[in-house]
Structure 1
Amino acid sequence: MKKFLDEHFLLSTGTAQILYHEYAAKMPIIDYHCHLPPHQIAENTQFDNITQVWLNGDHYKWRAMRTNGVDERYITGEASDREKFRKWAETVPYTMRNPLYHWTHLELQRYFGISELLNPDTADRVFDETRERLQSPEYRVRGLLERMNVKVICTTDDPTDTLDFHQRLREEGYTIPVFPAFRPDAGMNLSDLGKFRTYVSALERVSHCSVSDFDSYLYALKSRHDFFSSMGCCVSDHGLEEIYAEEYTDEEIPRIFDKALAGNTVSDLEHRKFKSALLFLFAQWDAEKNWVQQYHLGALRNNNSRMMKNLGPDTGWDSIGDFRHGRALSKFLDRLDSKNQLTKTILYNLNPADNELMATMIGNFNDGSVAGKVQLGSAWWFLDQKDGMIKQMNALSNMGLLSRFVGMLTDSRSFLSFPRHEYFRRLLCDLFGTEVESGELPNDLPWIGQMIQDICYHNANRYFGWEQRPA
């Protein structure tokens, strides 16, 4: 019987162990999509205890605690940090076979050297030991990043963000480049016209542009896109239910904008046309600058209206959606490609039923100009677990080139999430190692090892242009 979480965790063959320990493990980390707060990096935040760095904002853990019958007081409520941690420790034994069980113990090992299982009996001891370590200088935010060999970070930022903390890090010459990513979702959302008008006002303030019509709105957004580029941004990101590719005329969109700005009701079709127009414009701007554009598709968000009202978005009330992506995605990408305005693109699907759809869609628009120009993104959100990662890699292997994949990301708000890269790398090595030992792949470890290193690091470094790009 193998020991839980030993050095050969998830590595079922000797070849997999060689591939991981000799090739994958030493590769640096490029986290090209996450939600880390840039102000905490700039200020080199020191957390008082593990609850602050581990539980605050982590809706993965919150969902598990709620399912385990934990009252909201101990999740997002007024309970003390120690009480919240105790409730998480009570929940952990019940998370077996959920990826949280692996991640929890992997993170305790990698950051704090703690190998004992987290449960009610060990909760206070783990809380106290991690708290003591978090008081030391090397456990400030930057020390946590350096401990995991992180080389590049891309945060996720709205056009109305000032990027003041990115600027501070840049002026300081911080050794780990922290780049913004342009995420304009709120700028095309007309579902709440009050919020939209508030958003327009915020855009006016940060862009120093008066917005009175659609043209001035585009001018303000474009000025932010240009500013993000001046701050080293080379990535856009869109978190959408689906791609919008409705037919529209150039005359319709300004009228829809005027209605929205005046607070008049916009129909569902008008809303879809507005989103379609802006998505296409954003993609054109990205192509002009040779950015990488990312589309995270398929989340059905904020399902629980009562809790949405009480706690707001991103608090654990989202699920996989069953949207129809094929035709609209094909239409959107083809329109850009036909105008020679399709930049490097990463497509992420949240529904595993769409793996093969996406894996074949990318092949329609890989034109030989760039290796892996259009990518099937890594298993995302509910799918960034063992089964989801393996299914994504198998779909990409069967219908594309896994060897050109840009690899894993954290998509996390926590500075303790970087062992997810290790988790992915172990699964990657196990796939190759198993097939080498079964005779399905040749025993050419130098070549396979190079492929693994490319997937872990080099492909992303080349794809995003950071090999040639100054910090």
Structure 2
Amino acid sequence: MKAFMDDQFLLSNDTSVKLYEQFAKPMPIIDYHCHLDPQAIYEDKTFANLTEVWLYGDHYKWRAMRANGVEEHFVTGGEGVSDYDRFVAYAKTVPMLVGNPLYHWSHLELRRLFGIDEMINENNAPIIWEKANERLQQEGFSPRGLIRSSNVRVVCTTDDPADSLQYHLKLKKEQNLGFQVRPTFRPDKALEINRATFYPWLMRLEESCGFEVNQYSLLLKALRDRVQFFHVADCLLSDHALDKVMYAEATMEQATEIYAKALRGEVVTVEEEAIYKTYTLTYLASLYVEFGWTMQLHIKAHRNNNTAMFNKLGADTGFDSINDGPLAEPLVKLLDGIEKGSGLPRTILYSLNAADNEVLATIMGSFQGGGIPGKIQLGSAWWFNDTIDGMQAQLKSLANMGVLGRFVGMLTDSRSFLSYPRHEYFRRVLCNLLGDWVESGQLPEDMELLQTVIEGICYRNAEEYFHFGSEQ
């Protein structure tokens, strides 16, 4: 029997161990999609205790705690509830999470970042709390220290077009930071014309641009100005949450009238919303081509399911799920429409519904080209798919339908500075899969080939694909 999370954790044979230890483990990390706070990185804030760095804002853990019967004031905080109380509530939850990646991630984070080997449970909660809090006061446990100690070379945050990027610009000026912090352009609010956030967001955009956006042509000008501003701040990626992929034949004249209708406070129909979104996203894609950016499409999240809790806590608090519904036809039409216009930028397709893996893997094969290796990517197993089974399924779908050796690899998609062991988790799954193929005779024991593939997926492919370069 193997010991829990020993050196061979998730590695089932000697070849897998060799691949991980020699090729995957030493590679730096490029975290090209996350939700870290650039202000916290710039100010290099100190964390008061383990709960602050581990549980604040982590809706993965919050969701698990609720399912374990933890009352809400111990989950998200409430009057009279201490951070220690919240930590103990999570420590009680962890033993019930057998089979859930949180069980592994939580132990990995304590072991790799804090050197704490105790099993997480109610009995060990006091000693874990004491050890972790002692280490948090030591040098190297600030955001910058955690990024450096995790061997991270690039961090790409998620930023609204109206954001000032003041902390990115300050970080860019630092000479010896040791890693890059780049913004990612996330213009969801520009597309969601039917949401209550649309008009207030336009006011923010006007403040950022310095002119009114009372016409659709001015909105497009403002978006272009913000893309150019983000580019100066070293942005090389955009990101879109397409919870439902929409497509309609669209003209500038139609989009202009629909935008004016929305500004008048009139109801925009679903058909009009599709026209507006198609034209606007197609325009944005043309900017991404012009500036040499990568476009990410995150598809099929069903968000804010619990209205009462959304009204109480807001978005991204653990009340989302996987969506279903049509994908292939509207996505193909959208990509084809963009390709017929400006041409597609480098594009990464993610679906929160794992049933879409083969659909995406075959769709992307229809739009490869331009001499760019892996121009269209099947995105890594995302959110609810960020599990052993989900990662294996994504890797196998890409291998079966595409070119696995050009995959740009893992990301954390996290709000926590403790999430980097997830890259280790992924790398172990990857090496175990390839090791199994070698052991079963499906791959040759060609270490030069395997090194190229593994180092590429873990680091080098992303470095080349996004044009990050090896130095800041």
TM-score with structure 1 setting the length: 0.98
Instruction: Summarize deviations over 1:411-438 as a string: whole Å, max 9, x none.
Output: 0000000011000000000011111111
Counterpart for residue 187 of structure 2: 184
Structure 2 counterparts to residues 417-456 of structure 1, below 5 A: 417-456=419-458
Q: Tell me the residue number matched to 1:64.
A: 64
Question: How far does residue 368 in structure 1 lie from its aligned partner after superposition?
Answer: 4.8
TM-score (normalizing by structure 2): 0.98
Secondary structure of 1:433's aligned partner: helix
Alignment check: 8 A CA contact 2:77 2:86 kept: no
Give the aligned residue type for 2:423: H
Following the alignment from structure 2 to structure 1, what is the Cα–Cα distance between the partners of residues 365 and 342?
16
Q: Secondary structure at the match of 1:264?
A: coil
Residue identity in the other structure for 1:433: G
Partner of 2:460: 458
Matches within 5 A, 1:10-25: 10-25=10-25
In structure 1, what is the Cα distance between the partners aligned to 2:171 and 2:231?
16
Match of 2:139 in 1: 137
Matches of 2:340 and 2:198, distance apart in 1 = 32
- The equivalent position to 1:342 in structure 2, one of 338, 341, 344, is 344
Aligned to 1:261: 263
Identify the match of residue 110 of structure 2 among 108, 111, 114.
108
1:273 and 2:275 are equivalent in the alignment: yes
Residue 4 of structure 1: CA displacement?
A: 0.4
Question: Counterparts of 1:344 and 1:242 in 2: how far apart (Å)?
Answer: 21
Pair 265,340 (structure 1): closer, same or farther in 2 beyond 3 Å = closer
2:453 match: secondary structure: helix
Letter in 2 for 1:2: K
Q: Is there any run of 5+ residues in structure 2 with no aligned partner, and where? A: none
Aligned to 1:211: 213
Deviations 1:292-320 (A, max 9, x none): 00000010001111111111100000000
Matched, 1:52 2:55: no
Residues 244 and 279 of structure 1 are in contact (CA less than 8 Å); yes or no, is this contact kept in structure 2? no
Q: Say what the alpha-carbon RMSD is for the aligned residues.
A: 1.1
Aligned to 2:396: 394
Q: Which shifted more, 115-124 or 169-178?
A: 169-178
Letter in 2 for 1:177: Q
Give the secondary structure class of the aligned counterpart of 2:409. Answer: coil
Task: Report the alpha carbon displacement of residue 190 of structure 1 after superposing the two structures with TM.
Answer: 2.1
Alpha-carbon distance in structure 2 between the residues aligned to 1:133 and 1:100: 22
Letter in 2 for 1:88: Y
What residue in structure 2 maps to residue 318 of structure 1? 320
Instruction: Find the aligned partners of 2:38 and 2:248 in 1 and give their Cα distance.
Output: 36
Q: Determine helix, strand or coil for the equivalent of 1:407.
A: coil
For structure 1, the residue ranges without an aligned partner over 5 or more in a row are none
**Residues of 2 paired with 1:292 and 1:140: CA distance?**
30
Shift of 1:175: 2.2
> How far apart, in 2, do the equivalents of 1:191 and 1:108 lie?
43
Residue of 236, 249, 252 corresponding to 1:250? 252
- Partners of 1:276 and 1:335 lie apart in 2 by 9
Q: Is the 8 A contact 1:12 1:430 kept in 2?
A: yes
Matches within 5 A, 1:337-376: 337-376=339-378
In structure 2, distance between residues paired with 1:429 and 1:54: 28
Distance 2:342 2:227 in 1: 20
Asked if the contact 2:302/2:322 (under 8 Å) is kept, the reply is yes
Q: Secondary structure at the match of 1:251?
A: helix
Equivalent pairs, count: 469
Is the 2:286–2:342 contact (alpha carbons within 8 Å) kept by the matching residues of 1? no
Secondary structure, counterpart of 1:139 in structure 2: coil
Q: 2:293 aligns with which of 275, 291, 294?
A: 291
Q: Deviations over 1:140-168 (max 9, x none)?
A: 11110111100001000000110000011
Match in the other structure for 2:8: 8
The answer on 1:40 being equivalent to 2:40 is: yes
Query: Which residue, out of 166, 169, 181, partners 2:168?
Result: 166
| Contact 1:182–1:236 (CA under 8 A) maintained in structure 2 | yes
CA contact (8 A) 2:304 2:319 kept: yes
Q: 1:407-422 alignment to 2 at 5 Å?
A: 407-422=409-424
Q: How far off its partner does 1:323 sit?
A: 2.5
Matches of 1:13 and 1:151, distance apart in 2: 30
Q: Deviations over 1:182-211 (max 9, x none)?
A: 000011112234x31111110010111222
Q: CA deviation at 1:135?
A: 0.7
Moved more, 170-179 or 156-165: 170-179
* Paired AA for residue 442 in structure 1: P
Structure 2 residue 75 is the aligned partner of structure 1 residue 75: yes
Aligned-partner SS, 2:277: helix
Do 1:241 and 1:323's aligned partners in 2 also have CA atoms closer than 8 Å?
Answer: no
Q: Is the 8 A contact 1:403 1:454 kept in 2?
A: yes
Matched, 1:239 2:241: yes
* 1:94 paired residue number: 96
Distance between the aligned counterparts of 1:365 and 1:249, measured in 2? Answer: 23
Q: CA–CA distance in 2 between the matches of 1:420 and 1:323?
A: 30
| Conserved? CA contact 2:148–2:178, under 8 Å | no
Partners of 2:162 and 2:208 within 8 A in 1: yes
**Which of 377, 380, 392 is matched with 1:378 structurally?**
380
Describe the superposition over 1:12-51 as per-residue Cα deviations: whole angstroms up to 9, x where unpaired.
0000000000110000000000000000000011101111
Q: Shift of the alpha carbon at 1:378?
A: 0.3
Q: Distance in 1 between matches of 2:338 and 2:282?
A: 8
1:213 and 1:219 map into 2 onto residues whose CA distance is: 10
* Counterpart for residue 31 of structure 1: 31
The answer as to whether partners of 1:211 and 1:220 remain within 8 angstroms in 2 is yes
